[in-house]
Structure 1
Amino acid sequence: MSVRLDEQLPATGHVIVIEDDSVVRMLFEETLAELGFSSATFDNAASALTHLLRIKGECILIIADQGLPGGIQGSEFIRLAKEQWPLIPSILTSGYVVEEQLIPPSTIFLHKPYTLNQLEMTIVAVLQQQRPLV
């Protein structure tokens, strides 16, 4: 079954990605660009938080890896972002088991390894939850 992503996603938007693996960050950038989104990618949460504050929360999605260097984990970053901007949808990723209580409310957890198709479908699912009903 083939799904037309262009019919299911907003036309444009800015996505923040926090991933410490440079290869995975690059894959996120390419995948998001193919889906029509601009992105800002970071290898740590502190830099991403500075960016999010600078753009005043103007993004359509946050994708964060749980295991990040620098003391702020992905789930913590998502919670901080949602305190200020509660409607920003989010995806938390990890190659490890993450206890359910650590996953912020309304955040989808995507376990590594995942396929590009799984990533795309998860992005679609998260963004569709935010779309107003017509």
Structure 2
Amino acid sequence: MAITSTILVVEDDAIVRMLIVDVLEELEFSVIEAADADEALTAVKNTNQVIDLMMTDVGLPGMDGKQLATQVRELRPTVPILFASGYAEGVDFPAGMQVIAKPFSIDQLRDKVKSML
């Protein structure tokens, strides 16, 4: 049996988050859900929790996705980070971070996640 990768999904829109989680679980990933940066950081700070990839919306309430990514990188320097954004053009992201433009298809999400893991 293959080892399941664990993906932390940070998305403030509950419906969008549910759809992403459903897709990732169908692809046999283990998923941790967070509605905002605070919930995400709680998961990241839990040293018993494996996180193989973080997928975050750029536009989050409070701390945005890029600020969250900076904090996550301080705690877990090796975690790949995937930003989901409706405004992906012309945004610079640090090394090890990629972006997927919203709206994205199930196939695009699968291919992007698999390429990053």
Question: Shared fold (TM-score greater than 0.5)?
Answer: yes
Does the alignment pair 1:91 with 2:82?
yes
* Corresponding position of 2:107: 117
* Corresponding position of 2:70: 79
User: Which of 19, 25, 29 matches 1:27?
Assistant: 19
1:29/1:97 CA distance change after superposition, 3 Å? closer
Question: What TM-score does the superposition give when structure 1 sets the normalisation length?
Answer: 0.78
Segments of 4+ moved more than 3 angstroms:
none
Distance in 2, Cα, partners of 1:85 & 1:46: 16
Query: What percent identity do the matched residue pairs reach?
Result: 32
Question: What TM-score does the superposition give when structure 2 sets the normalisation length?
Answer: 0.88
Q: Number of residues paired by the alignment? A: 116
User: Which of 96, 103, 107 matches 1:106?
Assistant: 96
Aligned pairs (5 A) from 1:10-89: 11-55=3-47, 58-69=50-61, 71-89=62-80
Which structure has the greater CA radius of gyration? 1
Structure 1 unmatched runs, 5+: 1-9, 128-134
